[in-house]
Structure 1
Amino acid sequence: MARDDETGEISVNAGSRCADCPLATCEGLRQPPPDLRGWIAAFRQGEAQFLRGEQVITQGARPRNLYTVLSGILMRTRLLEDGRRQIINFMFPGDFIGLQAALDDEMSHSVEAVTSATLCVFPRDRFFDLVTSQPRLSFDLTWLAAHEEAALEEHIVSLGQRNARERMAALAVFLVQRAIDTGFAPGGVLAMTVTQGQIADMLGLSLVHTNRTLQALRRMGLVDWTLTSIRIPDMVAARDFAGIESSALASPRPYI
């Protein structure tokens, strides 16, 4: 457990050295130069581990930390007052967590571990040191924010204009491609437990419609999505079916 049961604070351990960062072997990530890696090592506090289903950030809280995903997959969610939930997006190794809301405001969403996850921890109150002293890292953060906005734009297009099959194919393409880029999909298969309820929460579909759509995509040979894995036999065909431009999945990505 990464959270202290009495204080609610994140438990941070020393973890691996930045020189042995597990992200260094990810082909889909652009590696920081040695001088910046040294600065990142001085900036970080350590690592935190989370179990599947554990919350990293709670909606309405003012977290003290920022994070880089070292391993695992997480999801960002928004809970309405009546209990309905919208899954906003999924986060993979290299993604930066904590700047999706104003630095001095409450978080408008939660972040939950979809798999067991390890995060690199940075102190939130030192963020301005990063911005003022490391312009290259500031540029990388801006790049990440811009590409997250592009991914959210793609999701808005899905919710507003794509039909159910196209929505689901677009989501599968996004998840599998990100997993391939970060070494999470050996053989092109993403081992990830996602319930039909979670898919429905992401795509704005009923459970019945979600189930029928999954079966339809499987019959069409476009996406084989089970409870524990996602497989896309032909990525180009699935991308074309969903109407996704290849530039929307551009890599490599920087990380901090």
Structure 2
Amino acid sequence: MSSQHPQPTPSRQYSCEKCPLRPLPAFREFESQELSFVSTFKKGELAVDKGATVLVEGSHSAHLFTVLSGWAFRYKLLPDGRRQILNYSMPGDLIGLQGSLMGEMQHSVEALSPMLLCLFERDQLHELYRNYPGLAYDITWIASREERMLDENLLSIGRRTALERAAYLIAFISSRARAGLDVKAALQIPITQQHIADTLGLSLVHTNKTIRKLIDRKLVLWRDGGCEVVDHEGLKRLARWEGLGKERRPLI
């Protein structure tokens, strides 16, 4: 794991008014006063290299982040170093909310690819909750959606076969990315088979055999850069998963 500590950039590459994510159909529109507040709430941008640790379990952070570009994953470690990946973060996702409510982070976050993060100061969350009920509801919605996603992951680990688990995980990540990235062509997910194993609780050998079955069924391809989804609907059918809803989601 990298010990690198990303630093805020001295200026903004994107203003909130010209955010490249905001026009995407996946995100709800802001009211003018909400956009004005978020513009002052945002203190800068953070450039993060692949492999850098964004947040560390047990630490206190003065900041929250929204993913502007790139991919990350949340995870917990056992004392002997075994890792459980909890979820994946991609453009539009809010990182670090748990630390605002619990005092310290209960998980770590590592960059899967180079990232650009919008940086917010936790201290201003009180003003958001006090004066902007629409944004406060958005944060509650984000937390609720995270719980719903974790419920589905628990179902997968508890009841799906290894093949169904892998199909569900890749279909799930693909579904989320297609909304937040506005993907038109084939989607490449920057994960390794070790990431898959650490998410599903399988050995690397078992994961490799399982991924091979998905490749043989022409559902995915595995390249140096990660997993390329060939048949998104086929993955959903194999996993017996209906997919994500079409509802528009908040973007802080």
Same fold (TM over 0.5): yes
| Counterpart amino acid of residue 156 in structure 1 | L
Question: What is the DSSP-based 3-state SS (H/G/I as helix, E as strand, rest coil) of the residue aligned with 2:25?
Answer: coil
Distance in 2 (CA, whole Å) between partners of 1:65 and 1:122 is 5
Q: Does the CA-based 8 Å contact 1:196-1:210 persist in structure 2? A: yes
1:160 maps to 158
For 1:132, what is the secondary structure of its paired residue?
Answer: helix
Kindly report structure 1 stretches of 4+ aligned residues shifted beyond 4 Å: none
Q: Does 1:244 align with 2:241?
A: yes
Between the aligned residues of both structures, percent identity stands at 38
Query: Which whole-Å CA distance do the structure 2 matches of 1:227 and 1:150 have between them?
Result: 32
Q: Is the 8 A contact 2:73 2:112 kept in 1?
A: yes
Measured at CA, do residues 104 and 175 of structure 1 come closer, stay the same or move farther in structure 2, by a change above 3 Å? closer
Q: SS at the partner of 1:218? A: helix
2:7·2:47 contact (CA, 8 Å) conserved in 1? no
Q: Which amino acid in structure 2 is aligned with residue 145 of structure 1?
A: A
The CA distance in 2 between the partners of 1:131 and 1:9, in whole Å, is 28
Instruction: Measure, in 2, the Cα distance between the counterparts of 1:131 and 1:84.
Output: 38
Aligned pair partner of 1:128 in 99, 106, 126: 126
- Residue type at the aligned position of 1:98: G
1:202 matched to 2:223? The reply is no
Q: Which residue of 1 aligns with 2:173?
A: 175
- TM-score normalised to structure 1 length: 0.90
Contact in 2 for aligned 1:176/1:185 (Cα 8 Å): no
Query: 1:21, CA displacement in angstroms?
Result: 0.9
What 5-or-longer segments of structure 1 have no aligned partner?
A: none
Deviation at 1:94, TM superposition (A): 0.9
For residues 32-86 of structure 1, the C-alpha deviation after alignment (integer angstroms, 9 at most, x for no partner) is 2222111100111111110001111111100100111111111101111111111
CA offsets 1:145-164 (integer angstroms, 9 cap, x no match): 11111111111111111111
C-alpha separation between the residues in 1 aligned to 2:103 and 2:162?
35
- Summarize deviations over 1:158-180 as a string: whole Å, max 9, x none: 11111111111111111111111
Q: CA deviation at 1:205?
A: 0.6
Q: Distance in 2 between matches of 1:157 and 1:249?
A: 18
Match of 1:235 in 2: 232
- Equivalents in 2 of 1:189, 1:65: separation in Å? 31
TM-score w.r.t. the length of structure 2 is 0.91
In structure 2, what residue type is equivalent to 1:86?
Answer: Q
Counterpart of 2:30, as a letter, is P
Report the Cα distance in structure 2 between the residues aligned to 1:138 and 1:128, rounded to whole angstroms.
10
Q: Which whole-Å CA distance do the structure 1 matches of 2:136 and 2:207 have between them?
A: 40
The residue aligned with 2:50 is 52
